[in-house]
């Protein structure tokens, strides 16, 4: 017995001598912003289900805002570490997550859109009788998916992030149980999203087949050192990846779902979709095409050129003929995607800086716009036609003024963030000698300006000048405090970036993504 036991011990000792399984270094400190978002979502869901006091109005929203703030604060030391010239960008979790200025700025932007969306959701959910913790938990989990996507250094990790981001949003879009439009939006977004992620995944498979790796650094190194004589598989992979991204950023001709989903989804969710999803998708697009496939830029530039032209022109033109303000904003977001693509198409550091600048300004413009729309939509989330905005300047002058600022910013009027953003994009295009593209971008912003003026006119001019001044009383909109705070934050950001663009420009310049190999 004892002898057998001793020999067992000997075997154990032998096993113990083997080197332990080689696990990659995780760098928990650098992942803190991401962990706060993901952990916050899970903890919020658990605690809120167990503790009765969490059901009090506003508690869940306040908790979500705090989690978002904590995530932004956690970004600061990581940013400082990355910008420190002695330390610089680094990788985490064995090289599949890249921590550089780009990923941290994207994290901050996504966390900011979580805060804005949570503030807008607070009153909305109670107004629609669907209050609960689910929406906030999904919001945080979806944001963590977006962060993973924006900081992925490996195509498969990017795919996982994309799915975590999207799957939570399918549910959020369909969350309004009594509005059939909301379920329809959820279904459409789900089918199109699954379709596009299948294309994205097939693209990853093709790139893997051509280069032998899914790691962005290894792909870039392989393509730089090897000349592919038959690069059909790689080209197919790039095309399929572009289709997948095209759906996610809603570039024409992959934009069909956007107006329907933006219109049908609960408006605060639309605000999140338009801001955070665009940031995450463009971050992924820039990482894959600018960094990993940079050596083949001559092949992908024409495709992005075409997508940019189509998105800008078709988005702006279709927006003008709409009568539903939510659909107008959906088409205008397609047009904005075209502008960011113009910056990406330049394929230079200047272009990427312009894209980052544009996305940062866009998050606040669009979240603010949808914030106003969600208030004007009132109970039932249905009053979204242009007629519902007539006379808003009389009943709610402050709200009308706020919407005017956001619309002027989207149109690119000086002293707002939109002007500097558009200017940078066009300058980057000219710098990359894409003169025609720059011209088309200017033309598209003129067409889009008509759209924004249409809404402003509806708010300020009631149409019938002959009749008495109070012929149109304007919609009776109540403005709850959290939503007002969200709109206020968005206005301050929009104007601050517009008046003092230098700071953001510096930050955007520091946030240009870099390839980081394993040390």
Partner 1 sequence: MEVTGTWYLVLAAMLFTIGAVGLLIRRNPLVMFMCVELMLNAVNLTFVTFARMLDDVGGQSVVFFVLVIAAVEVVVGLAIIVAIMRRRPGATADDIALLKG
Calpha distance 422→361 (Å, rounded):
10
Tokens of 344: 């990406």
CB 399 within 8 A of CB 376: yes
Q: State which residue, 170 or 452, has the beta carbon closest to partner 1.
A: 170
Q: State which residue, 268 or 347, has the beta carbon closest to partner 1.
A: 268
- Cβ density class 324-360: b for 16+ within 10 Å, e for less: ebbbbbbbbbbbbbbbbbbbbbbbbebbbbbbbbbbb
Minimum distance from residue 211 beta carbon to partner 1 (Å)? 9
Minimum distance from residue 385 beta carbon to partner 1 (Å)? 10
Calpha distance 452→409 (Å, rounded):
10
Calpha distance 463→454 (Å, rounded):
12
Q: DSSP secondary structure string, 124-149?
A: HHHHTT--SSHHHHHHHHHHHHHHHH
Q: State which residue, 123 or 163, has the beta carbon closest to partner 1.
A: 163
Q: State which residue, 194 or 461, has the beta carbon closest to partner 1.
A: 194
Minimum distance from residue 170 beta carbon to partner 1 (Å)? 6
Minimum distance from residue 23 beta carbon to partner 1 (Å)? 15
Closest listed residue to residue 324, CA positions, set 407, 260, 238: 260
Calpha distance 165→149 (Å, rounded):
8
Q: State which residue, 122 or 260, has the beta carbon closest to partner 1.
A: 260
Minimum distance from residue 375 beta carbon to partner 1 (Å)? 21
Roughly what angle, to the nearest 10 degrees, separates helices 297-320 and 435-460? 20
Q: Which residues bind partner 1 (CB under 8 A)?
A: 156, 159-160, 163, 167, 170-171, 174, 177, 180-181, 183-188, 190-191, 194-195, 198, 201-202, 204-206, 208-209, 212-214, 259-260, 263-264, 322-324, 327
Q: State which residue, 100 or 218, has the beta carbon closest to partner 1.
A: 218
Q: DSSP secondary structure string, 18-62?
A: SPPP-PPP--GGGGHHHHHHHHHHHHHHHHHHH-GGGGSTTHHHH
Closest listed residue to residue 248, CA positions, set 317, 152, 149: 149
Q: State which residue, 180 or 492, has the beta carbon closest to partner 1.
A: 180
Minimum distance from residue 152 beta carbon to partner 1 (Å)? 13
Find how far residue 473's CA is from the centre of its chain: 37
Minimum distance from residue 163 beta carbon to partner 1 (Å)? 5
Minimum distance from residue 319 beta carbon to partner 1 (Å)? 12
Cα angle value 371/377/378 (rounded, 5°):
105
CA gyration radius for the chain? 24
Q: State which residue, 262 or 272, has the beta carbon closest to partner 1.
A: 262
Q: State which residue, 195 or 460, has the beta carbon closest to partner 1.
A: 195
Minimum distance from residue 188 beta carbon to partner 1 (Å)? 7
Tokens of 291: 């960094």
Q: State which residue, 177 or 433, has the beta carbon closest to partner 1.
A: 177
Minimum distance from residue 353 beta carbon to partner 1 (Å)? 33
CB 379 within 8 A of CB 127: yes
Calpha distance 458→234 (Å, rounded):
50
């Amino acid at each position: 017995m004892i002898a057998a036991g001793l020999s067992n011990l000997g075997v154990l000792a032998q096993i113990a001598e083997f080197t332990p399984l080689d696990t990659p270094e995780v760098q928990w400190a650098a992942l803190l912003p991401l962990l706060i978002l993901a952990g916050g979502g899970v903890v919020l869901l658990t605690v809120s289900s167990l503790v009765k006091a969490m059901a009090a109005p506003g508690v869940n929203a306040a908790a979500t805002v705090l989690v978002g703030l904590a995530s932004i604060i956690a970004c600061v030391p990581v940013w400082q570490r990355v910008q420190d010239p002695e330390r610089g960008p680094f990788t985490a979790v064995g090289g599949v997550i890249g921590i550089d200025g780009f990923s941290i700025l994207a994290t901050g932007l996504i966390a900011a859109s979580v805060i804005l969306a949570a503030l807008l959701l607070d009153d909305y959910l109670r107004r629609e009788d669907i209050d609960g913790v689910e929406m906030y938990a999904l919001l945080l989990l979806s944001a963590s998916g977006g962060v993973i996507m924006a900081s992925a250094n490996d195509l498969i990790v990017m795919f996982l992030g994309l799915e975590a981001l999207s799957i939570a949003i399918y549910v959020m879009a369909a969350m309004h149980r009594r509005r059939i439009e909301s379920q329809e939006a959820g279904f459409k977004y789900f089918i199109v999203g699954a379709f596009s992620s299948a294309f994205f995944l097939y693209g990853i498979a093709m790139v893997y087949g051509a280069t032998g790796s899914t790691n962005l650094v290894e792909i870039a190194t392989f393509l730089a050192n090897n000349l592919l004589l038959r690069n059909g598989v790689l080209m197919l992979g790039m095309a399929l990846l572009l289709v997948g991204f095209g759906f996610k950023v809603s570039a024409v001709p992959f934009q069909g779902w956007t107006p329907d989903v933006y219109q049908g989804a609960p408006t605060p969710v639309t605000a999140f979709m338009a801001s955070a999803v665009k940031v995450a998708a463009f971050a992924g697009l820039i990482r894959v095409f600018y960094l990993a496939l940079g050596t083949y830029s001559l092949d992908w530039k024409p495709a992005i050129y075409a997508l940019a032209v189509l998105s800008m022109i078709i988005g702006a033109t279709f927006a003008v003929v709409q009568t539903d303000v939510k659909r107008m904003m959906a088409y205008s977001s397609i047009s904005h995607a075209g502008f960011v693509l113009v910056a990406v198409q330049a394929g230079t550091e200047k272009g990427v800086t312009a894209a980052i600048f544009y996305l940062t300004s866009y998050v606040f413009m669009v979240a603010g716009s949808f914030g106003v729309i969600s208030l004007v939509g009132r109970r039932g989330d249905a009053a979204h036609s242009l007629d519902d905005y007539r006379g808003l300047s009389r009943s709610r002058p402050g709200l009308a003024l706020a919407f005017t600022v956001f619309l002027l910013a989207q149109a690119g009027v000086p002293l707002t963030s939109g002007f500097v953003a558009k200017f940078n994009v066009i300058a980057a295009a000219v710098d990359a000698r894409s003169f025609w593209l720059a011209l088309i971008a200017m033309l598209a912003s003129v067409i889009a300006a008509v759209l924004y003026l249409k809404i402003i006119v509806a708010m300020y001019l009631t149409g019938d000048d002959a009749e008495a001044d109070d012929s149109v009383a304007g919609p009776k909109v109540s403005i709850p405090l959290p939503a007002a705070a969200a709109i206020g934050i968005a206005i301050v950001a929009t104007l601050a970036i517009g008046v003092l663009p230098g700071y953001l420009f510096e930050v955007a310049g520091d946030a240009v993504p870099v390839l980081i190999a394993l040390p």
